[in-house]
Structures are given as structure tokens and as C-alpha cells.
Amino acid sequence: MAACVTAAALLPAAPSWAEETTPPTINVATLSPSAPTGQNNWYLGSVTLNMSATDDVGIDKFQYSLNGGAAYIDVPVAGAPASATASAVITQEGNTSVRYRAVDTSGNVAAFRSISVRIDTRAPAASYPAITDGHVGHVATLIPTRTDPTPGSGGVAVLNMYLDGKLVPPLPVQTSDLSLGVHKLAVHLSDAASNSAKYTQTFIVTTSFADVGTLIARFVTAGSVPAEVGTALQAKLDQAKALADADSAKPARQVLNEFVSIANARIAHGSVRSTLVGDARYLIDQLNGRLAPEPATGLKSEPAEGPKFIPDPVLAPLPHNPDADYNVLVFSKTTGFRHDHIPHTVAAIQKLGIAHNFNVDVYDPQLPTVTLPTSPFLSLDTLKQYDTIVFESNVGHPGPLNPITEQPNFEAYMHQGGGYVGIHGAADSFEIGTWPWYGDLVGGFFTSHPGGQNGFGQCGSCIHAEVVTEDNTHPATAHLPARWMTVDELYNFDRNMRADVHTLLSLNEDSYQRSLNSGNAATNPLRLMNGDHPIAWCQNWGGGKAFSNILGHFRTQYYDDSFMRIILGGIETTADRKGANCSSYRETSLLIEADRAAGLLTADAADAAGAALDIARDSYLAREYTTAIPALNSIVALANDKASGDAAARSELARQARELREWMQNLNRH
């Protein structure tokens, strides 16, 4: 036994590292730069991966993998320290899940961690498949094919589109709407990372016998050309083509001149006649060999600036100004989807308050640095401190106001002459059917909106639309042109509110129903609001004054002075600091019925006033404003008749009818 002990003692001791089996501790890596340099968490260039780890015996190296662990790249560490750091520059483009780990001097490997690295350095590209060798026929549709180099960030958006140098909505271009000859079509593209480029296509619109035949058929179908005239024109076109195919150019030209004579004599002056005559003369010149020399064509690209990232503002309460003209509450509490523009809207309204001398309080528990500590809606007396309340994308289903402890106070506030301003997602607040009073106040509930592209930066659901200024007498809209372009998220509603509210702004659905930026809308039109699409309005409702502007999803709006003047006008009018004609047919209809029920109007007077109001409303909806005006005049005359009822009731009815008449007269002038 002793001999065995002696022999064992003579064996060399096992080195301590041979028994070390504990892997290193790998820490969470960071990226440099820490903030993405592009939009939507994408980097526009290389990124440095910063790794760190600790180990009992020493770190030998770090490793990282760009292909899901199939292969690792070594990053050696000098000196085998117990605590080590190392960096690696990542240049691989695309959305890469980078695995990283540490290996100690004993060969123990830490369990990998991973971090997402998004890199996209290449701008998207455009092409026009319908254009061949710089030429396109007169019945083609031009839709740019947009591609983002793989692997890229995708979401390519048309930020701007120009036709012959003029800014136009990004829609398919029908070459039949263009004159024959040279044109330029430019698209300013951006991908989700904000890589951007501008592509300008120079092309020549030509025509042919087949194109002219197609145009004739289209114009006949559209009712622009009478069927019998279309038949006569097609007969001449077929005769001319047969002669041209038989190399009888001179007789063919003569027949085409007869085509021109028929078009000039039997089609009304306008674009249809000009198109057909122009195409026929082009064919005559072609047969004569007298077409003008063609300029150079082709697709040119140039760098362009992408969308700018707008960081969230740092919010703080505005100091209360005892000398302010009035008080405004911004209510942006949400119990559903949270719009990312909310802090920007709050900051913008605070800026308005400073510039226009009103106090601004905010209630939104999700903005802890600026919110009031308790809900003002818990007390009617508290609400009455505010001249108007801005409901700012307070999305929630069933809603951010308690139906027992808060909703009744707000209703009472409005009944006692309060003010309401609804912005964007205010129309997506409360479940449809659970609080109908609020739906009537805001004007209509949100149901859907078209999709968009992430290439806009911070608004993946935004698309271009033309806005029509319907009433430019309101302080919110007086500064706006008759038509203007915006980029925003465009709501559809559960109703057409035109008959119920006083529409200020509406959307031209033709300007975006086939938007290049909304999925396959270019070839499959969007389902919208059947061509009548109010988007901002005002009304006198429930004893108070209400204003809704359902634009405002895109945070950039709140840095646009023109847009903020719309919001300011809503605040000033609902706070009773500026006057505005917000008459509506619903308001007057409800007045007539209430006066009838209370005996303040005779039954005959109420019947006559209601019938005249129906005529005026229907005429307004048909945009026949001159017909509405006499009907409203008859209501004024009826209200001035002492036999119609109570003097005060008649006076109010006459006032409302005169405001409706003033509204119709203004619409008729524009």
C-alpha cells in the first residue's frame, strides 16, 4: 500500500487549466454608431460591433457569425485577459442577425448572443417597361417598376413625381393624356433606410393606326364621341390603313384628311378632338416622311436627399401664464394603438400657446414628464377651466374616457358651451356604437386607411393626396390655396358626414385612388368613400363648438406652419376667440324638430321649414348651390312671420338659415 502511495506521489501534478470547464461570460454587445444613421433602424454604412466578456482563466478570442452560425470569424485577444473587449466592423448589407461569442484559453466557448444589424447603402432604382428605345405609344400606361438592390431595406416610396417639370401626384400616367412628342417623367425614390435617388426618363410619345383605333373606342365608351361619329372615324381609319399597307401613301393621306374633317365638324372642341386630329396629322406626316427629328431619350439617375429623421421632443409642462387669454387642454391618453406623432403634436400646440398667448395643459399618463397628475374629466368644474379641449389621437377601444365617471362630464361640458378640437386618431377613439354622441361630435368613426411604403421614413401608412379647400372663410382654412398636396394617412369613415357637418377640407380621391405608393392600387383601385371624402370640418354640436381635422398622422405635419395654422384656427374658433360660420343642415334640422316638439313653432311652420331645408340640403349635396339659396330664403321669410311661432325661436331659425345661405353663396362663388 505504501509503495502505491509513493508511486502516485512521483507522478506530475495535473495543470489547473486542464480541469477548467467554465465558459466565458459574454456581455450584451453594442453598436457604433449607437443610433442608426438611416430611417427605420437601418444604417447607411458600416457598423462596428463592440463585444466584451469575462473569464476565470482568460479570454483567448471573440468570434462572430454572419450566417446563422454556419461559420465564425475570429477576433483574437492579446494577453489572455480575464476581462476583454474587441470590435469588428460589419459591412454585410441586409438585415443580419449577428451571432457573437467568446472563447477562453481552455477552449471553452460561451453560448452565443445575437444582435440585429441592418445595413443598406444603395438607393432604389426605377425603370419603365412600357417604354422601348425611348418610345411609347399613345394608349400606354406608364407605371415605374421600383426595385431595391438585394438585400435591401425595401419599402420603396415615390417621394415626389414630376411630369415635364411639374409636380404631380404619384399615379400611373396615361400616355393618351399626353401630347405626341417628347416628355420627361421623373420620380424621386427612397427606400426604408432613406437611401434616395431621382430618375428622369425622357421619352417620345408616338401613335399608330392601332393606337388611333383604340382611342376612338375609348372615347365612344366614355361618351366623349357619339357612336355614329366613332363608326365614321373608324371606317376612314381602316380605309387609310389599307391604302398605307398597299404602299398607296398619297390616297392614304387624303383619307386621313377626311378623318380630320369629320373630327373637326362632329366632335366638340376640346382635348378629345385635339387628340384625334393630332394623331391623324401625325400619321399624315409619317406617310410624308416629314416627322420632326427626334431628341435624345433615355433614363438618367442622380443622387437625391431622403426623408429626414425627426426625433421625439423632450416635453415639459408650460408654466402657467396668469395673463394668458384663455386655457387649452390637450388630451392624448390612449388605450389602443399609440400614434408616434403624439409628443410632436403636444410640443407644436405648446409652441402655438406661447406664440398666441394661451395656456396649454396636457393629460396623458403615457407622457409622464408633461401630464397633469389626475384626469380633468373626473370633474365638470375642472373641465370648465378650459375654453377648448384638443382630443389628439386618443385612440382606444372601448375608449380612454370612463363611461361612468368621465364621459358624462365631457358631455355636460359641451352642453354648457365648451369647445372640442379633434385631430387624426380622435376619429378612432371609442368603439363604434358604444358612444354615439361622441361619433356625432367628431363627425364620423374611422374604419380603415390605405397602406403605404416605409420609404417615407416615419410614416409607413402615408400616401400623397390632393386636398380641396371647400370653405376658405374659416380662420383655419383662409390661408390655404384652393387645391394643395399633402402626404398623410388618409382615413375612411363609417358614414358620409357631408350632410351633418360643415365641410372645410376634402380629399380628391382621384389623386390617390391609384396611388403608386399603396400596394397594387396602380392596377387595382383603392376602395375609398365613393368620391366624396370630407377630411376636416366644423359644427355647432351639443351646445358647444366642434372642429375636426383628420389629417395629422405624419409627424412632419407638426413642423409645417401651414398645417399648424389649420390647428390654430380650430383652437381659436372653438375657444370662441374668433368667429366662424360652422352652420350645418343637421343643426338646423334638429332645431326645427325641437321647436316643433316644444310648441315654439307651429306645426305648419315646422313642416314648411323642414321641407325647404330638405330641398336646400339635397341641392347642396348635389352641388347645386343656386337651388339651395332660394329654399333657405324661404325659411328666413317664414321665420320673420310672427304667425310662425315664438319670437326667440323664429329669430334663431332665421339666424341659422342665413348662415346656411351665406355658406351656399360662398360655395357658389368658388
Residues linked to residue 466 through DSSP beta bridges, in sequence order: 485, 508
Dump the DSSP string for 548-597: EE----SGGGGG-HHHHHHHHHHHHHHTTSS------HHHHHHHHHHHHH
Can you give the residue ranges of every domain in the chain? Answer: 25-119, 123-184+193-304, 326-516+527-575, 585-668
Helices (H) and strands (E) in the chain — how many of each? Answer: 14, 29
pLDDT for the residue 159: 98
**pTM for this entry:** 0.93
Per the CB < 8 A criterion, the answer to whether 471 and 536 are in contact is no
Strand partners, 228: none
The predicted-structure confidence for 67-119, as pLDDT tens digits, reads as follows 999 999 999 999 999 999 999 999 999 999 999 999 999 999 999 999 999 99
Amino acid at 37: T
Euclidean distance between CA atoms 195 and 43, whole angstroms: 10
Strand spans (E) along 195-325: 196-205, 298-303
pLDDT computed for residue 20 by the predictor: 85
Q: Kindly report the number of other CB atoms within 10 A of residue 353's CB atom.
A: 23
Written as one string, the DSSP assignment of 100-128 is EEEEETT--BPPPEEEEEEE-----EEE-
- CB under 8 A, 24+ apart: contacts of 335-339: 335/395, 335/396, 335/397, 335/398, 335/399, 335/400, 336/395, 336/396, 336/397, 336/428, 337/395, 337/425, 337/428, 338/366, 338/395, 339/393, 339/395, 339/424, 339/425, 339/553
Query: What phi-psi label fits residue 609: left (phi over 0), alpha (psi between -120 and 50 degrees) or beta?
Result: alpha
Residue 603 makes CB contacts below 8 A (sequence gap 6+) with 596
- Coil/strand/helix, residue 391: strand
Q: Which three cell numbers stand for residue 466?
A: 390632393
- What was the pLDDT predicted at 433? 87
Mean pLDDT by 10 residues, the chain (670 residues): 38 53 97 97 98 97 98 97 98 98 97 98 97 98 97 97 97 97 98 98 98 98 97 98 96 98 97 97 96 95 96 97 98 97 98 98 98 98 98 94 97 98 97 92 97 96 98 98 98 97 98 97 97 98 96 98 98 98 98 98 98 98 97 98 97 98 95
Q: Which fold has domain 25-119?
A: Immunoglobulin-like (2.60.40)
Q: How far apart are CA 382 and CA 386, in angstroms?
A: 8
Cell triple for 555: 409627424
Closest to 616 in 3D by CA, of 645, 648, 592: 592
C-alpha–C-alpha distance, residues 565 and 557, integer Å: 11
Contact 542, 414 (CB under 8 A): yes
pLDDT at 245: 97
Length of the chain equals 670
Asked if residues 156 and 119 have their Cβ atoms less than 8 Å apart, the reply is no
Rounded distance, CA 328 to CA 363, Å?
11
Q: What is the third-level CATH fold of 326-516+527-575?
A: Rossmann fold (3.40.50)
The owner of cell 408616338 is 206
State residue 670's pLDDT score.
83
Q: How far apart are CA 66 and CA 69, in angstroms?
A: 7
Residues 6+ apart with CB under 8 A from 563: 551, 552, 557
> Which residue do the cell numbers 399615379 mark?
171
Residues 6+ apart with CB under 8 A from 570: 421, 476, 538, 547, 548, 549
